[in-house]
Amino acid sequence: MRILHTADWHIGKQLNNTSLIEDQEYILKKIIEIIEEERPDVLVIAGDIYDRSIPPVEAVELLDKAFNRILLELNIPIIAIAGNHDNGDRLSFASGILKNNKLYIEGRLKPRVNKIVIEDDHGPVNFYVIPYADPAYVRELHGNKDIRTYNDAMKAIISGINQEMNTDQRNIAITHGFITGIEEPETCESERILYVGGTDFVSYEYFKQFNYTALGHLHGQQKAGDERIRYSGSPLKYSFSETEHSKGIKLIDIDSAGNANIRFKELRPMRDLRIIEGSLDELLAPDTYRGTNTDDYIHAVLTDEGELMDPIGKLRSVYSNILSMERGKAVNRNKDSRTSAGEGFRQKTKLELFKAFYESMTGNEFTPERASIIEKLINEMNKAGRSE
């Protein structure tokens, strides 16, 4: 059986108040091209189909168009679950009717996890669909007051599945959450925090008995403790913390013995997300942007020290989709979360404090010329203070 694993479509997403619907339509067409080429037996969407619980009209229309093409024209079944961005009740509306057209949407977790069976030449493959649910909901659902964390919740859910799962058959899990293995997971800014204090972590150990586990929530494609437990990642970059990600989908071929062969198919966007850095003159120079897509979504880091007149307007004349800009090198500002004054700040003069602050914020040397200017300003302020 061939499974196309995707997740985190986030249809209707905006980035810095800029709609990405056109980019999403483009990338969904690319996914459909892969479906036409690879002819999977099923398309899996592991949560966060929409970006918010009440999606805009254009997002609903785009999903409807994509599903119609995949289901009715290409005759490929779809299994989709709700993620933490989705409204499970809205998403699963009319799901009983839709399954007759091979669209299986699981919006709300049930006391007994729903099993979807799809046959291939070697027999049945069982898909256990586990939509996103917080611990309080699972605690009430199972009547178990000991369920406090996401890990507790998943343990109870998987325990129920194990009681009836036929391990002689091929079994696939689909879920959405923070599944962690031994290695540190790769996260990014656009993933909504599920809970504070690390209690959103779920052990990968619960999924080791499945032939494959299709995960959603983390936007970088990666494994979670085991080669057969995978995040497909999002099909598009949804924050500037994802600029180094390689986006795509997973193709999984399950043989008659349940062995999984996993391939990655890269998706190239219509417009990329990029961070550019340099002085304003450097970034506006043709040699800098020649050969690049100036329609990409851009975050600019300006290294100029002096005052600039309308820098973002000037940058927009070249980079039409610049979304944000900052001054200085962010890496220097973030390298130490403590105050830039450091230890012994009470014994330091105002000039020494400003020197430490300046070098911490800019990464540049506080030269004698700069010190002379600041010292003069400090003396003038002291005189003004004494005269009041």
Between the alpha carbon of residue 217 and those of residues 25, 29, 47, 269, 383, the distances in Å are 21, 22, 7, 20, 58
List, for residues 49-91, the tens digit of each pLDDT value: 999 999 999 999 999 999 999 999 999 999 999 999 999 888 8
- Which tokens hold the place of 184? 């540190």
297 has a pLDDT exceeding 50: yes
Intrachain domains 2-266 and 273-328 with the same fold? no
Phi and psi of 126, rounded to 5°?
-100, 120
User: Cα–Cα distance between 72 and 97 in angstroms, integer?
Assistant: 15
Domain spans in the chain, listed from the N-terminal domain onward: 2-266, 273-328, 333-387
- Which tokens hold the place of 62? 């785009």
| CATH architecture, range 2-266 | 4-Layer Sandwich (3.60)
What is the pTM (predicted TM-score) of this model?
0.81
Of the CA atoms within 13 Å of residue 197, those in its CB half-sphere come to 4
CATH fold of 273-328 reads Double Stranded RNA Binding Domain (3.30.160)
List, for residues 133-176, the tens digit of each pLDDT value: 999 999 999 999 999 999 999 999 999 999 999 999 999 999 99
List, for residues 243-276, the tens digit of each pLDDT value: 999 999 999 999 999 999 999 999 999 999 999 9
